[in-house]
A and B are shown apart, each in its own frame.
Chain A
Amino acid sequence: MFDTLMILSLTILTVAILLNLFRLVRGPSNADRVQALDAIGINLISGIAIFSVFLHTHAFFELILLIGILSFIGTIAFARFIERGYAIERKR
């Protein structure tokens, strides 16, 4: 019963990823696409968490944290690029 629930939530998350992908493909502006990528990252976090419970392991917990940090950094980089035209400022 518990496993079924887990698989069900995994499936729902996958559907969410696919829907995000639709936004990524169609998204009229670049901002939409970056948002979609960010959301995919969040979905991955949840997916990995559920997967860890399903597998009874905590080997993937660092990964969850890492995705949280890195998808944040990635989104920031994209946002800066879209807004200012560059991702990292030059000192000069």
Chain B
Amino acid sequence: MSFLHFIVLMPFLATILIPFLYKKWGHRIHTGWFVVFVPLTIFISLLLYLPEISNGNFIATSMPWIPSLGINLDIYLDGLALMFALIISGIGVLVVIYSIFYMSKEREALHNFYIYLLLFMGAMLGLVISDNVLALYTVWELTSISSFLLIAYWYERKKSRAGALKAMLITVFGGLMMLAGLIMLAMISDTYSIREMIASVNVIQDSYLFIPAMILLLLGAFTKSAQFPFSIWLPDAMEAPTPISAYLHSATMVKAGIYLVARMTPIFGGHSLWFWLVAGIGLLTLLYGSLRAVRQTDLKALLAFSTISQLGLIMSLLGVGSAAYYFSGGEQQELYALALFAALFHLFNHSTFKGALFMVVGIIDLESGTRDIRRLGGLMAIMPVTFTIAVIGSLSMAGLPPFNGFLSKEMFFTGMLQAAEVNMFTLEGFTILFPIIAWVASVFTFIYCFILLFKPFFGSLRLDQLPKKKVREAPLGMLVPPSILAILVVVIFFLPNVLSDSLLKPALLSIGPFTSLNEIPFEITAWHGWNTEIYMTIGVIVVGLLLFFMVKNWNSILRIYPDNLSLNSLYNSGIEKMESSSSSFTNFYMTGSIRHYIMYILIAFVGILATAVISLDSVSFNLNFKANVSIYDVSILAAMVVAAFMTLLTKNRITAIVSLGAVGYLMVMVYVIFRAPDLALTQMVVETATTVLFLLCFYHLPKFGKRIEKLPFKLTNFLVAISVGLTFTVLTLIATNHKLYHSISSYFENAYELAGAKNIVNAILVDFRGFDTMMEIAVLLIAGLGVFTLIKLRSKDGDNNETK
């Protein structure tokens, strides 16, 4: 166990302490103040690793978990992992501080909140620095579970529970797919370590499991990162408290899928299917999210769709960047690797501005009582600080200078323009769509960013429409975390290369086709001349502004699209259909009638046995019996058959009992014929006892509805009975004709010498195989006790029912 392991496990250890702290101090000090030290410690300790990682090195350490199976807690801290870990712990600090002021000390169950949050934080940290795929999967599911718990934090609300369930179903579905993909990869490469998988990439690419593993992994990544069409859980997850939305559903968890795709790029990159799936789905998500975001009236829903859209953007860049693996060196490779670089850069930027925006929305919600943009307005004068942060965040998201979104948006356009020139994969013609979709989506991004900025802050303040009568600026503590993020947004614009050199380039080193830091040539510059990208940005601004001010004129077009064709209603009706069809299917065969169940059992018996006998072609027997059958035996058997049929065909219960008794008595005779005196004795006693028991039962049959009638004839019963009889007759004939070994009965003939008994049967029962007898005595004992208790308890129950 190394220091890094301790860092990852620290949130989990802290969860144990929280209930005690909450109980002891919770009513005086907000529990968040204790919690904030955890991410702060993690963040500072991770910063200590920064110089080492920035030089292009990595840190690998291992702790045994299940060494016999090769499953260990392997940690691999490289540029990518460190970047994610810093985002997770850094924004974690800010979110905890924000939540101290957001979550009420008096009203909320804070210990639950912080336990879930720390569980999530630990799981997410473990996810990004884990090198072992099974450990990765474990924490991957832990993020799903803790996210489920956090979304349903206000579990008394129906919508929270519904949102949590939906997120759980979708992400766990993806998680299981991913597990299958990871196992396939482990099977191909014969290792659980991602690093070793990347080292044996040639073996993996030649395997027939390459494509299935790729698709399964992508399913996991797409569901977690809310890509189209699995994006539907993210807007519903907005029922969570706002700090959670800011942390999980914008900055960290939804980037787990991005992380997976980035991590797997060295393995799958360069393959056309990977390129088309990742880039294509990413662009589709980008367009879908931005179009849907424009329609939203709830601020958090708007941010949710914008998150979906921005995740699509990052995903498409990763897809385009994967083409870098197609080339070995040269200018082309560099150009595509730029897309990977842009993806990492935008990923970082998105975490900063989206976190700030969510916190802003939370402030508006808390101070005004609503998040509905139709009721909000004119908050600029009341909340100047919040407004400033919102300006920085939304303009950065829209991609305007002087904010970091501008830089990554420019690089995004560069990447997409580069993708338009892709000519090494099939379907070349479609690549021209890449920059077009990217541009259109950017226009809509611009529009919803302006909606986000203008609707709550500009216009007139309508106090009568707001639930809270006194709207005022948020407390300082609530403003500090988003301010830090906003400052970061501006600082990154002016000093992008500090971030680039320390974090982005090492991260690119771990996912791109480079061997050392010196090979990475990229410099982020705010201004690179009058090129296509800048014209595109100007176009976005002009068209976006035009459309924004005419929003009332065209907004109705977006509503033409019917709601019942949306993905959400598809999901809902799909779930409903699945439930109704599975319940009707279950009702179809689980009829509650024992007759049916016995039918299934017998048909299955006969089906399996008959198929086995026929398909093995073993129906062979001769009828040359060695025993000489006398007329006496035949007539006894004939009498038995008649009596048995009598039992079946009679319409009188007494007759059925009497004929059953006749069968039993004649069985005694059969035993005599075959020289089995002990069996005959037992059979006689048991037969009489059973008959008397039957008579006992008849006495208790209910008077009401007691009809003595013939059994109705049912063709299926008849056929099943005939086939069961036939099958077992044939089987018996086959079995008696195929005696492979001699019987061991000659051993028991020495019973007198071995056991001192002249009766072989009794010697076997009590001496040679006495255990069976003991257990049968136990069976009889249990049966007797059972009957006794049944009768006793029934009479008591009957009394109770009567008094009721």
Contact = CB atoms under 8 A, between A and B. Distances in A.
Nearest to B636: A14
B699 A74 contact: no
Interface in B696-713: 696, 698-699
A63 B688 CA distance: 13
B198 interface: no
B735 interface: no
Contacts of A11: 631-632, 635
A23 to B, nearest CB: 11
| Size range of the chain B interface in the assembly | 35 or more
Interface in A63-80: 63, 66-67, 70-71, 73-74, 77-78
Contacts of A62: 677, 681
Contacts of B636: 14, 17
B109 interface: no
A33 B658 contact: yes
A86 B652 CA distance: 16
Main DSSP-derived SS at the A contact region: helix
A44 B681 CA distance: 13
Contact of A67 (B643, B668, B696): B668
A53 interface: no
Contacts of B642: 18, 21, 25
A87 B681 contact: no
Given A25-B642, A66-B684, A73-B688, A37 B654 contact: no
A77 B692 contact: yes
A24 B658 contact: yes
A87 B699 CA distance: 8
- Determine the interface band of chain A, counting residues with CB < 8 A from chain B: 35 or more
Given A63-B680, A66-B681, A17 B639 contact: yes
Contacts of A1: none
Given A62-B677, A86-B699, A74 B691 contact: yes
A14 B677 CA distance: 20
Given A17-B636, A73-B688, A77-B695, A40 B665 contact: yes
B677 A59 contact: yes
A33 B681 contact: no
A82 B672 CA distance: 31
B672 A30 contact: no
Given A15-B635, A18-B635, A60-B677, A88 B672 contact: no
Interface string A23-56: 0110000100110110011001001100100010
B201 to A, nearest CB: 83
Given A11-B632, A51-B673, A33 B668 contact: no
Given A24-B659, A63-B672, 18 more contacts: A14-B635, A17-B639, A24-B646, A37-B658, A40-B662, A40-B665, A40-B666, A44-B665, A47-B669, A48-B669, A51-B673, A60-B677, A62-B677, A70-B687, A70-B688, A78-B654, A81-B654, A88-B696
Interface of A: 7, 10-11, 14-15, 17-18, 21, 24-25, 30, 33-34, 36-37, 40-41, 44, 47-48, 51, 55, 59-60, 62-63, 66-67, 70-71, 73-74, 77-78, 81-82, 85-88
Interface of B: 630-632, 635-636, 638-639, 642-643, 646, 652, 654-655, 658-659, 661-662, 665-666, 668-669, 672-673, 675, 677, 680-681, 684-685, 687-688, 691-692, 695-696, 698-699
6 contacts: A11-B635, A24-B646, A33-B654, A36-B662, A60-B672, A88-B692
